[in-house]
Structure 1
Amino acid sequence: MGFLEDIFGKKQKQDDKINNSFQRIHDNLSHHNEWIKYLHNNTAKIWENTKELDNRHIRHKQDVFNNIKQINAWIEYLHNNHKELELEISNIENNIKEMIKQDLKKYHEELFLYLEEIAASRINPNELKQEIFDEIDKKDAEKESKTHFVTRETPASYKKKLSGGEQDLLNFLFNEDAPLTYEDISRKMGKSINSIRVYMNSLKSKRDIIDEFKKPNGQKIFSIKNKEKIRTLYNIN
Structure 2
Amino acid sequence: MQNLILIGRLFGYSTREARTKASELLHAFGLTDAKDRTVENYSGGMRRRLDIAASVLTQPELIFLDEPTTGLDPQSRQQVWEVVRTLLKSGTTVLLTTQYLKEADQLADRIAVIDKGTMIAEGTPEQLKASVGGKTLTVRLTEHLNKERISRLLEEHLRLPIYPDQDNPHFFRIPVKEASLANQAIGLLLAHNVFIEHFSLSDPSLEEVFLVLTRGEKKEAFS
State the TM-score, normalized to the length of structure 1.
0.22
Structure ranking higher in strand proportion: 2
State the TM-score, normalized to the length of structure 2.
0.23
Structure ranking higher in helix proportion: 1
